[in-house]
Amino acid sequence: MTEPVRVHAIHVAKARRLPTRAVESVYAEAGAGLVGDRYHGTRHRHVTLQSLTDLADASAELGTEIDPGATRRNVTITQGPVPTTPGDRLWIGDVELEVVRQSAPCRLLDDWIAPGAMKALHRRGGTVCRLLGSGEIRVGDPVILPGASSGTK
């Protein structure tokens, strides 16, 4: 029996080039984003999601560990893959999200993490989601991904 998928880490940044900071919880506002994050108030880019599984694979390819906060994604889940099909629905705790698109890694990651980080994270950069519901998202919250065999909402 596999372990349930959970929120491993949450990161927010107040502005585009400011470093992210780890938080234990964040308020997710439907149709707006994560309160206190640089994308709060945007039309579709409310939450970015990545997986420790993908980060481990990218770290192995890169030859150095990639810290979840260094990728600038908001929510890191304990295991993946993360959904990338537009329209797919998932839940983090009681908050419903909808996949908008796959998230491409930024070229600045080569400067911030290590040369080759952008390439290592190609197709492992996570996904961009829109918030359909509001509520608190906390480290440790259960995550229900599309196609999950149990606990379907």
Q: Do the domain assignments include residue 57?
A: yes
| For residue 110, pLDDT beyond 50 | yes
Q: Using one digit for the tens of pLDDT, what is the confidence trace for 123-145?
A: 888 999 999 999 999 999 999 99
What is the extent of the structural domain holding 43?
Answer: 7-138
Q: Does 148 map to a domain?
A: no
What is the percentage of the chain residues whose pLDDT exceeds 70? 95
- Which pLDDT tens digit goes with each residue over 5-22? 999 999 999 987 788 999
Does residue 153 fall inside a structural domain?
Answer: no
Q: Is the pTM of this model over 0.85?
A: yes
Q: Which of the two residues, 138 and 149, has the higher pLDDT score?
A: 138
Tell whether 143 is covered by a domain.
no
* Residue 65 belongs to a domain: yes
Domain count, the chain: 1
Identify the burial level of 149 via C-beta atoms within 10 angstroms of its C-beta, where 0-12 means exposed, 13-18 middle and 19 or more buried: exposed
CATH number at residue 64: 2.40.33.20
- 76 in a structural domain: yes
In a domain, 19, yes or no: yes
**pLDDT at position 108 over 90:** no
Q: What angle do CA 122, 52, 93 make, to 5 degrees?
A: 115
